[in-house]
Structure formats: C-alpha cells, structure tokens
Amino acid sequence: MAARVMTVTGPVPPDRIGFTLPHEHTGVRLWGAPAREDYWELRKDEDLLAEELADFRRRGGSCLVDLTTDEIGRDPRWLRRLASRTGVFIVMGSGWYRQLHYPPDSVDRRTVDELAGIIVREFEEGVAPTGVRPGIIGEIGTDKWWVSAQEERVFRAAARAGRRTGLAVSTHALASDVGLAQLEVLTDEGLDPARVVVGHADTYPDLDYHLAVLARGASVQFDTLGTPEAARREPRAVALIVELLERGYASQILLSHDVCHDDHLRANGGNGYGYLAQHFLPALRTAAVAEGEIRQMTVENPRRILTIG
C-alpha cells in the first residue's frame, strides 16, 4: 500500500502535509490529581475552535494532531466536522492516557494483546460507529516519574499495535526523565525507536536526558510552548533546541503547544495554536537557527512520524 497519513477525513499523501502541530487537543475533559478540585476543560465550541484554527492556517498551518484519548474526551465526529469546516488536516490519536484517568475495567481486566487489538481494530475498521481511523497512538503516558504496572501494559499494547499497523507512538513524559523508562518498554516489545516521540521534553529541561533519548533513536518533542505554565521555561527551551541542533539532531526534534484548556485559546487571553509560528519560531531565528532546520522540525519530522507504509 502506498505511503499515507491517516487523517480524520481519510488517508492523504504525505507530501500534502505541511507545517504541523504534533501534540494538540481541540476538546478535553479531565480532573487533576486526587484530592485536588481542579478540572481542566477545553470546551467544544465549534465556532470558536474554527476561528482559532483559522488563525493557525493564516500563519501557514497545515496539520494538527489531536492526542485526546477516549477517557478525556475524544470525539471522532467532532474532529471530522472540525477538519471539514476549517480545511486543517486533523490526525486523531488512539490508546489510553495515563493511569489516573483510565476508566474502570478499561485496562486492568484486559490482557496486553486484548488492548493492542482494540487499537488495531480502530485503525483497520475505524472507531465504531463513525469509521474515523486514528493516525497515531497516543497520547499515552505516566502519572509519576516511573511507569506503573497498568501503564506498562498500555505501553506494551501500544508497541504491539504500532508494529502491526505502522502507527507511531507519542508519549506523555512530564517533568522527569520517565521518557527513558517509557522508551525501554516500547523497544523491549520490538518497536522501532524511530517511531517513538517522547513528549513534554521542555518540562524537564535537562540536556543529558534529551541526549539519552535521542541517542536511542527516538524523537523529543518540545510541546508546551506558549502555554502560561511554560513561559518561564521558554528561554531554556530555546537554548536546548539550539544545542541539540548543533549536535546534529535536527531530524529528531518536534515542536507544539499542547493546547488543552479554555484559557489557552486566543479568545480567552491565551496564545492559541498560532504561537509557534508567531513567536517561538522567530525566537529560534534570533538564536541563529536556519530556515532549513525550522522546516525540518515543523514539516519534515512530523510528516515522517505520521507517515504509514
């Protein structure tokens, strides 16, 4: 079968996919940690989200990867409708987010192969009854700085499904070096590390950690750029990206925002989906990052990750 990127409106040739945001959301519902009353929500207001994505398009945007999983609000029909209305290619994720958010009985009472089979069926048949097919596995992750027993089973299932479908795996690895443990599980199952994106690299701004992930052949994703939580980290993120580029890792770096809350949208005072093009890429240019390197990180790398076959 010819190489393609699986979008929510169907497969497209990879060369149609341009500037891409590889870790975003367009609708989210989730509680924070136990004993906390914080509730994160990105409401599905179609007119509002269409305008936010129009801003992304005006700034050269082509494709957005929505890594929302079922338990935090995945809605295939919503994604297909939004893609059709805006002209933005949208790629949908698959799998289970992290243990705190696993629905009762969704993971704990299934074997690794049964979990893998669910992802494979979604890819082969589409999410019932919509027919919309995922184009990546993720966002799958860990709650802590280790991989729990249930989370390990999800990671093993993701790896097995990735091998069977060709889909890449995108992870949630927040504020620690847990991405190395995640990568170890995935590769132990035989998944090619070149098909793994370790996420939230900018939340753990440690050069040795990033180099360790890259040396194993996986990609690192700086993907909370422009969110209020990331503002203080941004100068360090720029410095780290420049250092990694100088060491020859341009082909293994991806950039995104992780818009996942109403407050992240431009209409509500946030930076929205256009921050990367409007502010962060100019900061990289000021730091002497070449246009070819910027294209590599924003077009060629996500295109490679999303290409199946």
In the chain, the largest separation of any two C-alpha atoms, in whole Å, equals 52
Residue 1 scores a pLDDT above 80 = no
Task: Give pLDDT, residue 184.
Answer: 98
The CATH number given to 4-308 is 3.20.20.140
Q: What is the pLDDT of residues 204-238, one digit of tens each?
A: 999 999 999 999 999 999 999 999 888 999 999 99
Residue type, 21: L
Annotated domain spans of the chain: 4-308
* pLDDT > 70 in the chain, percent: 98
Task: Give pLDDT, residue 37.
Answer: 53
Q: Are strands 63-66 and 89-92 parallel, antiparallel or unpaired?
A: parallel
Task: Give pLDDT, residue 35.
Answer: 44
Q: What is the pLDDT of residues 9-55, one digit of tens each?
A: 999 999 999 999 999 999 999 876 554 556 789 999 999 999 999 99
Task: Give pLDDT, residue 229.
Answer: 83
Query: Two tokens at 253?
Result: 């770096």
Q: What is the pLDDT of residues 109-166, one digit of tens each?
A: 999 999 999 999 999 999 999 999 999 999 999 999 999 999 999 999 999 999 999 9
pTM, whole model, 2 decimals? 0.97
